[in-house]
Amino acid sequence: MRKITLFFVLLIGFGAHAQSLDYLTIRTTDGVEKSVTAVGTEITFGDGNMYVKSGTDEITFNFNDLSAMFFAAEPTGLRNVISDQGGLADIPAGSMVQVFNMAGKPVGTFRKQAGQQSLPAGLQKGVYILKANGVTFKSLVR
């Protein structure tokens, strides 16, 4: 196995101030993102997998499922919030919301209306992945 340890990362631009990029975000082919603290993160490769260890988090990704890796100043990733028919409370009115099935296939897009707390009618029962304003989370339709 090959081992890579991530230490401290800075992004410095011409005429710009330095920005600390504290998180490593890994995106899979189904669009799900997982962020870990970049400092001290260990990445190893073997058996067709990438193993990520950051503090107490240990995550395994199959090479075929990897889409992208990038450093960010803020963590991103799929929120583990599952709510009945909604999860829209934290999304501002007027925001575009993308809806994906659990296989990552897009099933629709809608603009959140003022006071809207549930997903549009017509979705079959199941768990969906929603993306809006840089946030990704799960929602349950019963």
Question: Was domain 78-141 assigned CATH 2.60.40.10?
Answer: yes
Kindly report the pTM of this predicted structure: 0.47
Pairing between β-strand 135-141 and β-strand 78-79 as defined by DSSP bridges: parallel
Matching residue, tokens 């803020």: 74
Give the separation between CA 108 and CA 25, rounded to whole angstroms.
Answer: 25
Residues 6 or more apart in contact with residue 15 via CB below 8 angstroms: none
**Domains 2-72 and 78-141 alike in fold:** no
- pLDDT score at 18: 53
Fold of 2-72: SH3 type barrels. (2.30.30)
- pLDDT score at 85: 52
Return the domain boundaries, the chain.
Answer: 2-72, 78-141
One digit per residue, pLDDT tens: the chain, 142 residues?
Answer: 655 555 444 444 444 445 577 788 888 887 777 878 778 888 999 899 999 888 777 889 999 999 888 887 766 655 555 555 556 777 888 989 888 887 778 898 999 999 888 888 888 888 888 888 767 777 878 7
- pLDDT score at 8: 42
Model confidence pLDDT, tens digit, residues 87-112: 677 788 898 988 888 777 889 899 99
List the beta strands (DSSP E) in the chain: 2-5, 10-11, 19-20, 23-28, 33-37, 42-46, 49-54, 57-62, 66-72, 78-79, 96-100, 106-111, 126-132, 135-141
b/e per residue 121-134 (b: at least 16 CB within 10 A): eebeeeebbbbbee
